[in-house]
Amino acid sequence: MKCRKCDGELFVKRMCGKVRLKCKSCDHEYQVHEVASDLDDKTVEILERYTAIIYD
């Protein structure tokens, strides 16, 4: 998945019961619902491991 700001790679970041997507290049963080329409299969597979409300 790519960052909307800089086209860097996003990774799943889990912290204190929250799940975010963070850019490896510019460090911008997205809540899952902000990029839900762009989720690729690999990211969905990772997110399925966590119990989280999409708007947390």
Check if the beta carbon of residue 32 is closer than 8 Å to that of residue 50.
no
Q: What is the largest CA-CA distance in the chain?
A: 29
Query: What DSSP string runs through 5-49?
Result: TT-PBEEEEEETTEEEEEETTT--EEEHHHHGGG--HHHHHHHTT
pTM (2 d.p.) = 0.81
**For 1-56, how does the pLDDT look when each residue is reduced to its tens digit (9 = 90+)?**
999 999 999 999 988 878 999 999 999 999 999 999 999 999 999 998 887 666 54
- The count of structural domains within the chain is 1
